[in-house]
Amino acid sequence: MSDVQDDLDAAPAGIPWHERRAADLGLRLYASFVSPAAILRAFRRDALQARTLAQGLSEEQGRARVRIARFPGIEDSSRDWSVYMTLDHLVMVNTAVMVLIHAICTDHNHGAEIGLEDVRPHDDAGPDRIVALGAAVERYTDVVQRLGALRSRERHPHPWFGPLNARQWHAVAAIHNRTHRAQIEKILRRLQS
């Protein structure tokens, strides 16, 4: 068994093992066959849609924690977040991935360790997360566009997928935005029922 396979099997149980394996294969294919520019468009589209969905809410609705059914890509521990908590999580993850991509592409031995506990949203996340997500998306866009093809020799471990290069981290960020945009849509449906 490969080291990547060992890492995958030893990863936290956030999502079922078969889902992790399918996601791992999918993200590696996505990163290999889709250009960084096209991935960036998907990254922006889903993050900005998440922001737009939150803009129409009252503060009370945005702060309301809503339990949703688990769907692929969502951990059980994140099934009862509010819309603002979800945006807070996106701000943290997108910022962390941006820093990792920059470090990987510039071959800096950054030594950064970002654990799942480092990107847990704050319970008291508020409407300021709407503006914060927009700013995080623009910073991420600027860094990725300046780095171009996202070529890298260095890799950095993902807690579920093992060592990833810059293009693969970029793919993770886009898929992650799509997953949490879908989460916000599910939260809104529950709020409206």
pTM: 0.89
- For CA atoms 50, 71, 157, 123, the dihedral sign is positive
Which segments in the chain show pLDDT lower than 70? 1-13, 108-113
Domains of the chain are 36-192 (1.20.120.450)
pLDDT at residue number 112: 66
Name beta bridge partners: 157: 163
- Distance separating alpha carbons of residues 78 and 70, to the nearest angstrom: 9
20-31 residue pLDDT tens = 999 999 999 999
149-161 residue pLDDT tens = 998 888 888 888 9
Of 169, 130, 175, 143, residue with least CA distance to 15: 175
pLDDT at residue number 170: 97
